[in-house]
Structure 1
Amino acid sequence: MNMPTHTLRNEEGDVLLRSRKQPFNLLRWFSLISMAVIGTVAIALGAVSTKFVITESIQRDALLTSQFIQAIASAEVRHVSIPHVRTMGDLLDPRQDRNFPEIDPLARADARGEFLDHIAHLPDVILANIYAPDRMVIWSTNPALMGTTIEADEDLDHAFEFKTPVSASYHDVDEARMEQKFITPPEYIFIENYIPLFDAEGKNVTAMVEIYKEPKDLIERMERGLVLIWLATALGGGLIYLGLYWIVRRAAILLAAQQKQLITNETFVALGEMSSAVAHSLRNPLATIRSSAELALEFDSGPAHKNIKDIIGQVDRMSKWVRELLQSLRPLQDEPESVNLVATLHDSLSAFEQQIAKAGVNVVFEPQETPMVLSQPMQLAQILNSLIANALEAMDKDGTLTITLQASDSQTVEVSLCDTGKGMNEEQRSMAFRPFFTTKQGGLGVGLVLVKRIMERCGGAVRLDSREGEGTCVRLSFKRFP
């Protein structure tokens, strides 16, 4: 299909630039855009999924930690026989001891010590702090923090204000936060939990427990989950991309084939209309010239006799060209039917028997079976006659024409016509099936084009193998008749 060409010229008319508009490449643009879209969606889904998994895992761990600590606090209070003491939060701040003069200080210290010992030995704990309502650290597994007042801590303030557990996760230690003073630094990720302890009425927060944990088992599970999420995301995105790419590639190939066929059909229609007009315009003058030459031949036996015969020969050749041109451009409308391939080959060889004998060509044809194939008798004979004629013209004396039949599978039959002629070079092979290309002097170049059209019309195919100086093989592939 010819694309529009844009030419720029200067004032003197010289050509400055000639550009050709490139066709839209559906497959390339789809592959780029779809890869970008699918990649973006896959990364977004992976990021959302990983964030969800991390958040849910941390929240679940924080909930379990909060429930465990509150259960320990309730259990320790039940086991301590101290009057007027109803919650563990009332016992944790040593500064409140003076408010309970009737309580044995040793009993209060023992109860507090039991609870703090449980906190200090919780699994995966790397730091534990307990805050009084005034934000002072009243106890810590890091003694350096005890007595320190923590200010401007949003999570701690949020837990005291809303009286709810607060959890957060970190990858790196925040040096600006006074409470993140670890004796043993975390390796990868650590979780911070604020767990409020209430008074007997459950309204006021009497103490806040801060737990820093590095749950290695949970982290390993999260890492495995993240790996699976990203692998599944990458695999899913890749499969979607490959599936869509395969579909679009098939569609692009089909569209290209249809476009090529449409262009070919349009070309043949235009050539057919033009050729019909030219042929009808030439037939009468050619017939008149030939009749006049034949008449002159009867009355002249002198020196012009040979020239008159040349005129008749050239007229006949032009008439043959016109017939071939019209025949090659005529629409193929006959439906395929069952044809005896071997019998048709024998008929074609019989038609060329005199030419074969005159050229001294040896024909090798020994079929082992007589397959029935899908074709059209007249068109099949025309194909074989054209190929045999081409082979005879390409060979010198003592050449060999070998015809073989081979059943490729249960549904196809392949016929090979191989000659020992001069063959073709690579450029000639690539152009062999183009209209009006020929290597023969005086040829029109529509024979192989017609062969290809007829074979494809009947559901078959044609291939050409040729080497310069070694010969040419034309292979016809037919559908076997059921």
Structure 2
Amino acid sequence: MENATAYFVNKGADNGPADQDIEELLSHVSRIPDVFRANVYSGDGTILWSSDVEMIGKSYPENEELAAAMRGLLDPELNVIDRGAKDEHVGFPDGVTSFIEYYIPIRTRDGLSVVGAVEVYKAPGALLQSIQRVRTYAWLGALAAGAALFGGLAVVVTYASRVLVRQEARTVETERLAVVGEMASAVAHGLRNPLASIRSCAELTLDDDIPDSSRATLNDITDQVDRLEGWIRSFLIRSRRDPGSLSDQAQIDQVIARCFDGFQPQLTRRSIAVVVTPGTGSPMVLGRAAELEQVLNTILSNAIEAMEDDGILGITWTNRLDGTLEVQVTDTGPGVPADMTHRVFEPFETGKAAGLGVGLALGRRIAERMGGSLDLANGALQGAVVTLRLPAMI
């Protein structure tokens, strides 16, 4: 751009204003930040101009980088060279312990030949600081990424650990319920023949000439035997791992009425009042009526046992916006002890002296099989509140 061919060919001889322009350009190059020396070499290796005037006119024949530049080579890789590696590495400013040295070949205007070279010495302080900043940012980025990865892994591990704990507890509960199921299946199967005999005896006695009061008692015996037979049949069907069909449905108000009919003698004897609050929506739920009756019988039995005489037993059912039907059973008993609140649904855990601790556990399992849930909590003032949620018929 500066038409410098004559300057290099004539080895710095005075060629008028053009040479002054070139030297002004070279002086400008030498004042670029971090550049502390600039040398201009002719084609034979003689220094024509230098920012250090003591270097002008000297030559250093054993200079492989300069020889490569004279052949038109420009190595883009910058190397940090220690002081004293070459004869020309003298007279550097104080404080310069290492530097970057590179050669730029100067070609003729047509680009066919090399007429000289420019050598630049640059202090690497700013470069090294930039590299250090890049390294610092890289380390900080790596630490941040590592922290984020560690945090993510910690969350995953914590969640997985909690899932494993829940699964382990569920497995233990399943194993315990499996033992209960096997025992109950054997007991249920063994009860069918005695129940059939009791029913036969009651029917035969009904054919005799007996008082009306006795006839009513015998009719009640046959009804209760039929009811027990239905429970046993439903239980044995579940034992064959038959979860039932989605078409199974029950009418909750009718199931509640049958349950209270079964407990009526006990309720009358203990003067326990029953308050039933029906809902306004559809009473139809998905599930087997016999299984639902078994769950409600367990809940009602526990509530009646927990209350003193002259207590109040309440039951309500309502349709919820989430597509479930909620049944709540309340009593006026003492409630559930604090240490038993989270254990009442575990198999063989009971707060009653003569209890087995399997009723509520099986009740929750049946509710979950039907796609619902069963929960228990203490009431705001007294007694316990049992909440049964079931999928409603839409």
The residue aligned with 2:279 is 368
Distance 1:257 1:107, change over 3 A: same
In the TM superposition, residue 233 of structure 1 has moved relative to its aligned partner by 11
Report the counterpart of residue 201 of structure 2 in structure 1.
none
1:416 counterpart SS class: strand
In structure 1, what is the Cα distance between the partners aligned to 2:320 and 2:81? 73
Q: Does residue 1:430 correspond to 2:342, yes or no?
A: yes
Cα distance per residue 1:352-381 (max 9 Å; x no partner):
333333333343332332333222211111
The answer to which structure has the higher helix fraction is 1
The residue number in structure 2 matching 1:346 is 257
Cα-to-partner distance string for 1:31-84 (whole Å, 9 max, x where unaligned)? xxxxxxxxxxxxxxxxxxxxxxxxxxxxxxxxxxxxxxxxx3xx323xxxxxxx
Matches within 5 A, 1:105-254: 105-107=13-15, 110-121=17-28, 125-127=33-35, 128-132=37-41, 138-141=48-51, 156=65, 159-160=68-69, 163-168=72-77, 178=89, 181=92, 193-198=102-107, 202=112, 206-210=116-120, 212=122, 242=152
**What is the TM-score normalised by the length of structure 1?**
0.54
What does residue range 308-457 of structure 1 map to in structure 2 within 5 Å? 327=235, 330=239, 331=241, 333-336=243-246, 337-371=248-282, 372-457=284-369
CA displacement at 1:195 relative to structure 2: 1.3
Cα distance, 1:451 vs structure 2: 0.8
Deviations 1:151-176 (A, max 9, x none): 9988x468538642234569x99777
Aligned to 2:222: none
How far is 1:394 from its partner?
Answer: 0.8
Distance 1:281 1:117, change over 3 A: same
Report the Cα distance in structure 1 between the residues aligned to 2:369 and 2:49, rounded to whole angstroms: 93
Structure 2 SS opposite 1:420: coil
Residue 466 of structure 1 aligns with which residue?
378
Question: Is residue 81–residue 100 contact of structure 2 (8 Å, CA) maintained in 1?
Answer: no
Deviation of 1:472 (Å): 1.9
Decide whether the 8 Å contact of 1:89 with 1:198 is kept in 2: no
Identity, in percent, stands at 27
Q: Contact conserved, 2:326 with 2:390, CA < 8 A, in 1?
A: yes
Mark the CA change 1:255 to 1:89 in structure 2 (over 3 Å): closer, same or farther: farther
Aligned residues: 346
1:478 counterpart residue number: 390
Superposed CA deviations along residues 313-350 of structure 1, whole A, max 9, x for unmatched, are xxxxxxx9xx99x9598345323433322332233234
What is the CA distance between 1:475 and its match in structure 2? 1.6
Q: Specify the alignment match of 2:9 in structure 1.
A: 90
Q: Does 1:76 align with 2:16?
A: no
Letter in 2 for 1:114: D
The answer to whether the Cα contact below 8 Å between 1:167 and 1:194 also exists between their aligned partners in 2 is: no
Distance 1:362 1:192 in 2: 104
Give the whole-Å Cα distance in 1 for the aligned partners of 2:103 and 2:137. 30
Counterparts of 1:409 and 1:229, CA distance in 2 = 54
SS at match of 2:14: helix
On the 8 A contact 1:412/1:480 being kept in 2, the answer is yes
State the one-letter code of the partner of 1:474. Answer: V
Match of 2:212 in 1: none
- CA 1:398–1:166 in 2, change beyond 3 Å: closer, same or farther? farther
Question: Distance between the aligned counterparts of 1:426 and 1:159, measured in 2?
Answer: 90
Q: SS of the residue aligned with 2:3?
A: helix
Give the alignment's TM-score, normalised by structure 2: 0.64
Any idea what the Cα deviations from partners look like across 1:398-425, whole Å, max 9, x if unmatched? Answer: 4333333354423223322222322223
Q: Deviations over 1:242-261 (max 9, x none)?
A: 5x988888887777766665
Change (3 A) 1:175 1:477: farther
Distance, in Å, in 2 between the alignment partners of 1:362 and 1:414 is: 22
- In 2 relative to 1, CA 202–435 (structure 1 residues): closer, same or farther, beyond 3 Å? same
1:143–1:184: structure 2 CA closer, same or farther, 3 Å change rule? farther
Amino acid at match of 1:115: I
